[in-house]
């Protein structure tokens, strides 16, 4: 905080008022509604509601379809985070090494940031279209019996590939700027001490990038949990048989398409708790190992 | 020396593979959009541009918005612009004001209010999408620009961005301004806003892209086709394509995909330096 500050009784409240008003109406109120509705059960016609304590939660967490979605989300988030971080780090290290064409590489690797996840999903959808999709044909030609409409592994492959593709550019931008902020003197000193570029990378450069990597892990897990909704909804829509349902997609499906408000709200609340827990864990256990 | 050469070649090879991986899908989408539907159906995706560029894009923009007939590409373009620009400007104003209060004032509720704002970062709209929809529907705001844009501003990314920036502004500025008798509003308007010009530009660019690319919220908020944004509109087209019927108009689907991609990509490319600076600064 600032050493010098204004002392006023009302003016600061006027300044925060718009933000707080929006948060109260469009964040706290709906969040409270979700919690309240998660304890209610509507009858089939929506005529009467009943307070049922934790029954919606029990029905949610122990249902096979929710467990399946939770399992898929865990695998999906892990794969998307590590693959897109790894690929972006490789590209950033290489882009930082070259002199000729450096800015061209930088521009052509980062511009995909501006593409919306559902647009990426739709493009991928056409690439994997059985009628005209070249990727679909290619995989089948090289002997992979590829069919993402029927095979759950293939469907998972499609959503992971598109999600990684969409996320590489953000990670690349952060890694590259992290690399460029390492002082030249450090690089020169490490050149003197260690001849192997690979060892130099893992012992000097990578630890210096640790804060960036930690920050990006948080960003990427949030991305895999929430923003990939647009990709799932424009490609597999959870098919086949719910194998590519993420938790967020299931909240949406059960609430809007299935009109199961209580169950969907209970899922929302569980999801909020999961995300909060995940964030706390990341900050407590991983950040402690990162030296700034 | 030859060792060094090989290293350089592999480096460039890896980078070129990366560039192809990132760019080829979009290029193929563009090239395919300039072909006739019969060609696409017969030969699949295209790598070289064809001769139907003007025909397809004219049709999509001003004759009919693809396969839906009732909404034009230009209408969706306009809606996307309103969402992108409205969201960016709204976000900058709301979050600058809030960040100013939090950084420059000592007041009793500062800490609890800060935590409320911080909480919105962790729980995006997606997890409370259905109650949010109900709240907005209850207020009669469905299919309005206000109902579309304002709930999206609830997340506090911009506030944190400006908070970080204001904290890096030297304290001496405020001391000097106060000696000269500046009021709270005067300091904000005459000193802080001019100082933040680059930062404001950077966050406007980022937020324009974020707003333009919104998906789930506009999807459930807009019920009338004339309010569709491009990102929502193309989705409907793909759905119609998937259902089959007459000769599938793949070229129009691709053309709308390119239209949905082009403006945010252009903004990012033109303002590349500001954009990267804004994105990376917000981390600290």
Residues spanned by CATH 1.10.3720.10 within chain A?
56-289
The most confident of the ranges A121-125, A163-167, B37-41 is: A163-167
Comparing A12-26, A28-42, A163-177, B196-210, which segment has the lowest mean pLDDT?
A28-42
CA A176/CA A155 separation, integer angstroms: 32
Whether the CB of A149 is below 8 Å from some CB of chain B: the reply is no
Facing residue for B94 by CB, picked from A18, A133, A255: A18
User: If we measure between CA atoms, which residue out of B191, B162, B171, B190 comes closest to residue B278?
Assistant: B162
B154 touching A (Cβ < 8 Å) = yes
pLDDT of residue A47: 65
Rounded CA separation A157/B239 (Å):
22
pLDDT for the residue numbered A46: 63
pLDDT value at residue B87: 94
State the CB neighbour count (10 A cutoff) for residue A132.
20
Bigger pLDDT: B1 vs B157 = B157
Q: How many residues does chain B have?
A: 284
Chain A residue numbers touching B80 (CB-CB < 8 A): none
- To which residue do tokens 């017969």 refer? B42
B257 → closest Cβ in A5, A16, A122: A122
Task: Flag whether residue B151 sits within 8 Å of chain A, measured between CB atoms.
Answer: yes
How close does chain A come to B63, measured CA to CA in Å?
A: 23
Q: Is the pLDDT of residue A80 over 90?
A: yes
Token pair belonging to A120: 């990426």
Look up tokens 């569709």; give the residue: B228
Q: E-assigned strands of chain A?
A: 6-7, 40-42, 49-51
Mean pLDDT of chain A: 83
pLDDT at A64: 85
For A133, A191, A265, B91, B112, the CA distances from B116, given in Å and listed in that order, are 47, 48, 21, 17, 6
pLDDT tens-digit readout, B93-126: 999 999 888 888 888 887 888 888 888 877 777 7
Domain A56-289: which CATH number of 3.30.70.260, 1.10.3720.10, 1.10.3080.10, 3.40.50.300: 1.10.3720.10
Q: A40 pairs with which residues across the strands?
A: A51
* Domain boundaries defined on chain B: 65-281
Chain segment A191-223, per-residue pLDDT in tens: 887 778 788 888 888 888 888 888 888 888 888
Confidence of residue B92 (pLDDT cuts 50, 70, 90): very high
CA angle A86, B47, B17 (to 5 degrees): 25
| Residue B273: both structure tokens together | 């330096």
pLDDT in tens, B267-277: 988 888 888 88
The phi and psi torsions of A182 (rounded to 5 degrees) equal -75, 125
Average pLDDT over residues B73-80: 88
In total, the C-beta contacts within 8 angstroms joining chain A to chain B are 274
Q: Taking CA atoms, what residue in B is nearest to A271?
A: B127
Q: Which residues contact A255 (CB under 8 A, 6 or more apart)?
A: A261, A264, A265, B129, B130
How far apart are the C-alpha atoms of A69 and A249, rounded to whole Å? Answer: 9
> CA-CA distance, B44 to B42, in Å (whole number)?
6
pLDDT of A171 reads 93
* Partner-chain contact B104 A119, CB within 8 Å: no
Asked if the model's pLDDT at residue B64 lies above 70, the reply is no
- B116 part of contact set with chain A, CB < 8 Å: yes
Residue B11: how many other CB atoms lie within 10 Å: 17
Q: pLDDT digit string (tens) for A152-179? A: 888 889 999 999 999 999 999 999 988 9
Quick count: other Cβ atoms within 10 Å of Cβ A43? 9
Place of tokens 């001003």: B62
What ipTM was predicted for this assembly? 0.86
Cα gap B86→B90, rounded to integer Å: 6
Residue A6 has pLDDT above 80, yes or no: no
CATH superfamily of the B65-281 domain: MetI-like (1.10.3720.10)
Nearest CA in chain B to A269: B127
Q: What is the pLDDT of residue A290?
A: 59
* Residue in the block written with tokens 């394509």: B241
CB-based contact A19 B156, cutoff 8 Å: yes
What's the N-to-C CA distance of chain A in angstroms? 20
3-state helix, strand, coil in chain B (%, to 5): 75, 0, 20
pLDDT tens-digit readout, B216-240:
889 888 888 888 888 888 877 777 6
DSSP B113-135: HHHHHHHHHHS-GGGGHHHHHHH
Q: What is the 3-state secondary structure (H, E, C) of B223-250?
A: CCHHHCCHHHHHHHHHHHHHHCCCCCCH
Question: Residue A51 corresponds to which tokens in the numbers above?
Answer: 């307070």
């Amino acid at each position: 905080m600032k050493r010098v500050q204004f002392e006023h009784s009302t003016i600061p409240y006027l300044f925060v008022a718009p933000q707080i008003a929006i948060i109260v109406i469009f964040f706290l109120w709906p969040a409270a509604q979700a919690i309240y509705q998660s304890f209610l059960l509507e009858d089939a016609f929506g005529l009467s509601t009943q307070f049922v304590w934790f029954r919606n939660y029990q029905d949610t967490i122990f249902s096979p379809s929710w467990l399946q979605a939770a399992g898929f989300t865990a695998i999906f988030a892990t794969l998307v985070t590590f693959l897109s971080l790894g690929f972006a780090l490789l590209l950033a290290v290489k882009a930082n090494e070259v002199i000729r064409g450096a800015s061209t590489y930088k521009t052509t690797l980062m511009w995909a940031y501006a593409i919306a996840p559902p647009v990426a999903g739709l493009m991928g959808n056409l690439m994997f279209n059985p009628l005209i999709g070249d990727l679909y044909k290619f995989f089948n030609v090289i002997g992979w019996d590829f069919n993402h409409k029927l095979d759950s592994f293939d469907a998972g492959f499609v959503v992971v590939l598109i999600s990684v593709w969409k996320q590489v550019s953000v990670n690349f931008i952060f890694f590259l700027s992290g690399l460029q902020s390492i002082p030249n003197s450090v690089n020169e000193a490490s050149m003197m001490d260690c001849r192997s570029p690979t060892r130099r990378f893992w012992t000097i450069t990578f630890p210096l990038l640790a804060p960036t990597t930690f920050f990006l892990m948080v960003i990427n897990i949030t991305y895999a949990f929430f923003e990939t909704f647009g990709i799932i909804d424009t490609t597999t829509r959870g098919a086949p048989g719910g194998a590519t349902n993420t938790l967020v997609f299931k909240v949406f499906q059960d609430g809007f398409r299935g009109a199961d408000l209580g169950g969907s709200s209970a899922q929302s609340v569980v999801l909020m708790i999961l995300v909060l827990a995940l964030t706390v864990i990341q900050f407590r256990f991983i950040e402690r190992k990162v030296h700034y | 020396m030859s060792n060094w050469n090989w290293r350089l070649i592999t480096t460039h090879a890896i980078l070129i593979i990366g560039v192809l991986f990132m760019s080829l899908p979009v290029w193929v989408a563009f090239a395919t959009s300039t072909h006739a539907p019969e060609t696409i159906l017969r030969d699949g995706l295209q790598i070289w541009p064809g001769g139907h560029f003007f025909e397809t894009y004219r049709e999509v923009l001003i004759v009919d918005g693809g396969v839906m007939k009732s909404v034009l590409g230009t209408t969706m373009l306009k809606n996307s612009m309103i969402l992108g620009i409205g969201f960016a400007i709204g976000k900058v104003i709301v979050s600058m004001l809030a960040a100013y209060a939090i950084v420059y004032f000592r007041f009793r509720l500062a800490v609890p209010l800060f935590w409320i704002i911080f909480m919105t970062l962790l729980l995006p709209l997606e997890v409370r999408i259905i109650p949010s929809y109900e709240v907005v529907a209850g207020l009669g705001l469905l299919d309005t620009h206000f109902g579309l844009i304002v709930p999206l501003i609830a997340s506090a990314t911009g506030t944190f961005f400006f908070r970080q920036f204001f904290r890096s502004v030297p304290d001496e500025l405020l001391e000097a301004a106060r000696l000269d008798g500046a009021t709270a509003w005067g300091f904000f308007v005459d000193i802080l806003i001019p100082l933040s010009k680059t930062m404001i530009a950077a966050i406007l660019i980022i937020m324009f892209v974020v707003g333009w690319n919104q998906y789930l919220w506009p999807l459930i908020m807009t019920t009338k086709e004339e309010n569709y944004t491009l990102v929502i509109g193309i989705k409907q087209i793909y759905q119609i394509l998937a259902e089959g019927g007459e000769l599938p108009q793949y070229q129009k689907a691709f053309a709308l995909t390119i239209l949905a991609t082009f403006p945010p990509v252009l903004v990012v490319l033109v303002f590349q330096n500001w954009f990267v600076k804004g994105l990376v600064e917000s981390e600290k």
